[in-house]
Amino acid sequence: MDGFFCWITRTFGHMSVAERFIQYLHEQALCQPHQRLLLAVSGGKDSVMMTRLFVESGYAVGIAHCNFGLRGEESEADEALVYQLAKTLDVPFYVTRFDTVLYARQEGISIQMAARELRYAWFETICVSQDYDYIAVAQHRNDHVETLIFNLVRGTGLAGLQGIRPKRGRIIRPMLFLNAAEITAYVQQHGLEYRDDASNFSTKYARNKIRMEVIPKLKELNPDLEETLTKNMAHFSDAYVVLQRYIEHLRTQLFSERAEGEWHIPVVGLASLDPQQFLLYELFKPFGFTEAVLSDLASSLGGTPGKQFVSPSHVLYIDREEVVLTSKKAVYEETVLLEKGETRVQWGEYNFKFHLSSHTEVETASHIGQFDAHKIIFPLRIRSWRKADMFQPLGMKGHKKLSDLFISLKIPVYRKHRVPIVVNGNGDILWVVPYRMDDRYKITGKTKKVLTLACI
């Protein structure tokens, strides 16, 4: 295939846009000829041209159009044009309407972000229900450059310097090899009908301001700005690949997984990182931690144990000579019920087996809990600890807070939420697994039947 394109270039001096389009699909491994593609078509010149290129290249496509209801009659006219395009090409047409303003208000986000979330969620639904392999979006090289500048102004890590990626998950962007002038020339040459969105010319939006005011000024310094920045983004992308390989190697060296969703990292290893803040961010970025939180972590290394740092999905704990990373698994926040007659349940990483018997001999294994069945009220509950929890430890007369028990047993703070608490139907704690049972429910000389719980 590569030799074929080289032959075309040598023979004809240059390739047509259609040939360059096929070559770009091939070079970037965006899709295969046998795959089905859902085209996101707004009605603008970019997406109309993309549709024509895919259809003329023989791909099986469907057209999806979102009416966001933001521009009144203009939105209706956009929808009508895209519908006619699909009808003319005889390809499947999918359309939906959103109350974008309401969604943005409910979610507390901008109109632009709301439109993005709504459309991509809908595209994904169509792909699953109608068996499409990819979603094609018609962003081009100028969008690529605008994204870089936007990210630099807003603040970005190295990942943001890559601009727009040609392929990310199910999303492909097959028009990134073209600039806006080439698209305009192609559309005019082929007489393609399209519609301009008036909002694209309003400088109240940051991206429009970059395109209409910032980039023209930068081009006074470098007329080949798009070409230069595109090459730079390719270099940034290569550098990012090298960095991620190093980060993966570093993570393999430092992170020791002790249980599902739990990693232990030596404090000395994190303290010796150089440059520390940058590498900390890259190491913990997949777990949702912000730079500000990781800056606090860096200043706390070697400090008092017990301090914790939280992301939406994970928690970091400083524990003497280690930093412990744990997942906020929803399973540990759930309560599992054990109904009468059941024999086994699972909570988190623990499996429980239950049985009733008249055998009253006490077993001493720590993973076995035995209780006077006459005092048991179903359903039992298995959950994680709560700050107000109290029980009467076996052999004691008074009550004890679970938090005090954890301290006396030297259970690290990051493990507390993973300790199973078995609760009787009346709310009394039966067993802090596998550490202590409650004295009130122990086997006595009067016990006739025993409920045995085995925890693995």
Q: Which regions in the chain score pLDDT beneath 50?
A: 1-13
Angle between helices 2-12 and 17-27 (to 10 degrees): 150
pLDDT of residue 332: 67
In this structure, what DSSP letter does residue 397 have? S
425 is in an annotated binding site: no
For the stretch 165-213, pLDDT in tens is 999 999 999 999 999 999 999 999 999 999 987 666 667 778 889 989 9
Strand residues in 137-231 grouped as ranges (E) = 167-168, 171-172
Asked if the peptide bond before residue 379 counts as cis, ω within 30 degrees of 0, the response is yes
- The DSSP code for 435 is T
β-pair type (336-338, 429-432) = unpaired
Give the Cα separation of 397 and 447 in Å (integer).
Answer: 20
Is 47 among the annotated ligand-binding positions? yes
Please give the Cα distance from 122 to 119 (Å, whole number): 5
Q: How far apart are CA 375 and CA 361, in angstroms?
A: 17
Best CA proximity match to 211, nearest among 238, 180, 183: 180
Establish whether 319 is an annotated binding residue.
no
Structure tokens at 361: 């001999």
| Residue 11: per-residue pLDDT | 40
Q: Bridge-partner residues for 167, per DSSP?
A: 172
The 10s digit of each residue's pLDDT in 86-141 is 999 999 999 999 999 999 999 998 888 999 999 999 999 999 999 999 999 999 99
d(CA 116, CA 139): 14
44 annotated binding-site participant: yes
Write down the domain spans for the chain: 2-236, 255-327, 334-455
Instruction: Give the distance, in angstroms, between the CA of residue 278 and the centroid of all CA atoms in the same chain.
Output: 21
**Is it true that 2-236 and 334-455 share their CATH fold?**
no
Question: Annotated binding residue at 87?
Answer: no
- For residue 304, which of 291, 320, 288 has the smallest C-alpha distance? 320
pLDDT score, position 201: 66
Q: What is the predicted pLDDT for the residue at 261? A: 81
Residue 366 marked ligand-binding: no
Fold type of domain 2-236: Rossmann fold (3.40.50)
Measured over the CA atoms of residue 407, residue 259, residue 293 and residue 310, the dihedral's sign is negative
Distance from C-alpha of 233 to C-alpha of 276, rounded to nearest angstrom? 25
Whether 399 contacts 390, CB under 8 Å: yes
Q: What is the CA radius of gyration of the chain?
A: 31
CB 269 within 8 A of CB 276: no
Take residue 60 and report the two structure tokens written for it.
């099986």
| Tokens at 228, concatenated | 């230069």
For residue 166, the model assigns a pLDDT of: 95
Which CATH superfamily includes the segment(s) 334-455?
A: Phenylalanyl-trna Synthetase, Chain B, domain 3 (3.50.40.10)
Cβ atoms of 53 and 138 closer than 8 Å: no
| Pair 143, 163: CB distance under 8 Å | no
